[in-house]
Amino acid sequence: MADNDELTDGARFAAHVAAQPHVNYLKGAGALDWGMQSRLARIFRPRTHRTVMLAIDHGYFQGPTTGLERVDLSIVPLLPLADALMTTRGMVRSTIPATSGVPIVLRASGGPSVLKDLSNEQIAVAMEDAVRLDAAAVAVQVFIGGEHETQSVHNMTRLVDEGLRAGVPVLAVTAVGRELTRDARYLRLAVRICAELGAHVVKTYYCPEGFDTVTSACPVPVVMAGGKKLPELDALTVAARAIEGGAAGVDMGRNNFQSDHPVAMLRAIRAVVHESAKPEDAFEEHLRPVLSGT
């Protein structure tokens, strides 16, 4: 084989690319168009195939949320630390600086408020507007087992069809109602249905037992939903266990912006997700100094 100095520029570049670990396709993305893969690469770090998403879309169904009453002050300091931002088009246009560079996962379903049956959602964003906002993906709630299950699945499949035409991936969010149990059996059912019907990424909850069976049963990346606010070390522990169980990242909102030290918390989450840091070590490095005032 010729020495590297004797290779043409094209051959040298090909050899360089072949030696990089990040050229491996994201799980389930090998057959996608270039534009789809490019958008997914903005959400998931190419070298780790993991993401730390910041969810701030709670207001679309529950209005002002504790920790986000002053959205401009609460969100902007966190943007440089997030791999992607889960939010709504109203928040993008009113609050998120266009210069932030943070990839947007755009909430595309909605309708009922917390005063009604949340499963009765409709598509709430046209795909052309998602493209206009340069969204890296669109997100849709899917209520497997809910009163309006079929409607929510149809919302997702319509977005998948539109996304394939426009080159925009679809993230399906498996919503769990009060009457459903967040166990591995249910979560396997929910994530597999979403993936089989075309979702490119699935966001779901963590379960203490059998979470690895949830991720292994899903042919596309699974991102863990953060859920309710937990003590910081507990939230880091859940995130670490989800990553160990095969999650391709986390999408945590309340566990970030409801923390007394959201910037330090987000740094700690990044360490757990991207560096495989132990939760105790991430806590000591990023949160202990601000808690102790040092």
- What is the secondary structure of 172-190 as a DSSP string? EEE---TTS--SHHHHHHH
Give residue 1's pLDDT: 43
3-class SS letters over 2-47: CCHHHCCHHHHHHHHHHCCHHHCCCCCCCCCCHHHHHHHHHHCCCC
Give residue 284's pLDDT: 97
β partners of residue 84: 53
Class of domain 34-292: alpha beta
Render each residue's pLDDT in the chain as its tens digit; 294 residues: 445 556 666 666 556 655 555 556 799 999 999 999 999 999 999 889 999 999 998 888 788 777 665 555 567 889 999 999 999 999 999 989 999 999 999 999 998 888 888 888 999 999 999 999 999 999 999 999 999 999 999 999 999 999 999 999 999 999 876 666 789 999 999 999 999 999 999 999 999 999 999 999 999 999 999 988 999 999 999 999 999 999 999 999 899 888 989 999 999 999 999 999 999 999 999 999 988 775
The number of CA neighbours under 13 Å toward the Cβ of 181 is 6
- Whole-model pTM? 0.88
Domain edges within the chain? 34-292
The number of CA neighbours under 13 Å toward the Cβ of 34 is 0
Give residue 293's pLDDT: 73
Beta strands in 205-286 (DSSP E): 222-225, 249-252
Give residue 2's pLDDT: 46
Among residues 27, 203, 228, 278, which one is catalytic? Answer: 203
The number of CA neighbours under 13 Å toward the Cβ of 29 is 27
Of how many residues is the chain composed? 294
Q: Is 203 a catalytic residue?
A: yes
